[in-house]
Amino acid sequence: MPALSLRRSEMAMRRVIPVALLAFMSGCASTPPEDDPVQMKLKDIDDRLARVEHIVTNQSLVEMAQHLDEVQTSVRELRGRVDELENSSQAMRKQQRDLYNDLDKRLGAQQGGGGGSSSPPTGSALAGGAAGAAAGAAAGGGSGASGSPSSVEQAVYNQAFDALKASSYSTAITGFKDFLASYSSSPLAENAQYWLGEAYYVTRDYNNASTAFRAVMDKWPDSRKAPDALLKLGYTQYELKKYADARKTLTQVKQKFPDSDAAKLATDRLAHMPADAN
């Protein structure tokens, strides 16, 4: 009997052990695996990197927006500057046209009133007529008769005057200066001195223009050119912002030559001068 009981016990244990093993294995299968710490660390790094990239991207957008605002501001400033330059350029062109128109009128007036010259209305006639008007104030020069320019004087003068009519002002200035240096006693010297001033005036060289016009008044105060020379002297003083001198000179034009065209122009300029200009 003891042997039989032992065998039965062994058989019971054999049945129990597989069941216990199966239950243990089932319990192990239902327990979730633990997270890998290395993978967790990598995931955390990836998340941080993503946040940093997002921040950097936003900062770049902010900087780009700021830069765009700066560019737009610069563009607005440049456009404003361009407008100012265009307005200034238009004003300068208008003033230049006025100067040219004034010069053309004076050239036309000279050509229209040829004085005692019998030549046709050309550059030579212009010079000859002016010479006839100046004959009483200047002595003849070179080989010409008293009160008449020599052929050489006439030719040199005409070259400078033709350059002036062609708007070659630097050439005209050089020509008139050379003429005055070589033929200071010529009947054409008065005209050369005046047109030298006009050439300077048109090119906005007001200091030299003032000197040239003043020389006409000093050397030929009673000549045909005196009213215009005094008027233009006042104009140059105005352009140089010497308003008190300009007002005084233009008033002298009205007083000395009341019936002249120069007096009318002086009156007009005086009327447009600022009342408080000194």
Structure tokens at 186: 């010529």
Angle between helices 206-219 and 189-202 (to 10 degrees): 160
Domains of the chain with bracketed CATH: 225-278 (1.25.40.10)
- Confidence at residue 65, expressed as pLDDT on a 0 to 100 scale: 74
Are the C-beta atoms of 239 and 220 separated by less than 8 Å? no
Q: What is the pLDDT of residues 164-205, one digit of tens each?
A: 999 999 999 999 999 999 999 999 999 999 999 999 999 999
Are the C-beta atoms of 152 and 142 separated by less than 8 Å? yes
- Confidence at residue 145, expressed as pLDDT on a 0 to 100 scale: 34
Are the C-beta atoms of 148 and 187 separated by less than 8 Å? yes
CA 81 to chain centre: 10
What's the DSSP call for residue 166?
T
Dist CA 142 CA 179 (whole Å): 13
- Confidence at residue 197, expressed as pLDDT on a 0 to 100 scale: 97
Dist CA 217 CA 232 (whole Å): 11
Dist CA 209 CA 229 (whole Å): 10
- Confidence at residue 64, expressed as pLDDT on a 0 to 100 scale: 77
Dist CA 154 CA 162 (whole Å): 12
- Confidence at residue 113, expressed as pLDDT on a 0 to 100 scale: 40
- Residues (pLDDT < 70) of the chain are 1-34, 72-146, 276-278
- Confidence at residue 44, expressed as pLDDT on a 0 to 100 scale: 82
Name 169's Cβ contacts closer than 8 Å, sequence gap at least 6: 163, 199, 202, 203
Dist CA 101 CA 119 (whole Å): 25
Half-sphere exposure of 12 (CA within 13 A, CB side): 6
